[in-house]
Amino acid sequence: MKGPLVVGIDAGGTKTRAFAVDRGGEVVGRGAGGGGNLLSSPDPQGSIGAALAEALDGRAAEAIVLSCAGGDRKVDRERGRDILARVAPPGARLLVTHDAIAALYAGNPAGCGVVLISGTGSIAYGRNEEGEEDRAGGWGYLVGDEGSAVWCGLEALRAVAHAVDGRGAPTKLEALVFHELGVGEFGDVLPFVYGRPHPAPAIAAATRALAVASAEGDAIANGILQRGATSLARAASVVALTLGLTGGPVYLSGGAFDNLPILQRLVRLELLGALPQATVEPVREEPAMGAARMAMELAWGATV
């Protein structure tokens, strides 16, 4: 493949994706790597470099955009740029930005609207036609990320702990979590929680158990998802109102919406109650494509 190329990279908590795109907007190369979160992943440079190398397959790039959690903070942007400088081919223009804006560009090539992300973490981000921006959430699983996969998993584990102790109502989550981890009591869950890479195996197992329990009508599981949906919709609504985007569009993005379909349905209902005039639709492109569209703007001043 000859001709100018750009690359968009989305470095998430559990996986990294890279798309090489030509001037016509066609994806001509794809790459993948492990978790590339600059704060929590064990080897972000290795993951980002592997995805980039696979997407380019020895070709040059005119511009590369890396989107990642924390890309809106100066220290993380600088760290991300240092990583890109080490793994990028010579001569490429480099930009590091946050994952939410890449997800918005994946939903809308013009980069306008509100995107609500529920993946490993969660955040609402918006940008209007005047270029004004706003965000809500995205503060990490220890102090926020309500409605994210990790938050849902942690809430499910708390519900199991309460049920085991008799402090909370019985729930199908207990047996499902034990089955997922191959254990017989809650004390044996703890080694899968503490001292493990983020997100811990028990959190992922509890999120999977939550999906099953909710589908089977478990009240505790559905209560967790309802609380998560309310928090997510509230974040998106605040951003939309601040930016004058009460009509949307609101784009939904992230693996939690795919893996917890009930969460997506509940969020839609909450959003339509808070923003009755808004259109709500899923992001149909991967965030790496949004980053690639930003790379097209960086290199050539336009997207398609």
Could you report the per-residue pLDDT of 12-24, keeping only the tens digit for each?
877 899 999 999 8
Residue 179: strand pairing partners: none
Residue 35 carries which side chain, given as an amino acid letter? G
Summarised one tens digit per residue, pLDDT across range 289-300 is: 999 999 999 998
> CA 23 to CA 66: how far, in whole Å?
18
For residues 71 and 41, the answer to whether their CB atoms sit within 8 Å is no
CA-CA distance, 221 to 213, in Å (whole number)? Answer: 6
Average pLDDT value over all residues in the chain = 91
List, for residues 42-71, the tens digit of each pLDDT value: 788 899 999 999 999 999 999 999 998 777
Distance CA 115, CA 299 (A): 24
Strand order in the sheet with 280-282: 133-137, 122-127, 113-118, 250-253, 280-282
Q: What's the token pair of residue 164?
A: 């085991």
Q: pLDDT tens across 187-242, in order?
A: 999 999 997 777 789 999 999 999 999 999 999 999 999 999 999 999 999 999 99
Is residue 109 predicted with pLDDT exceeding 80? yes
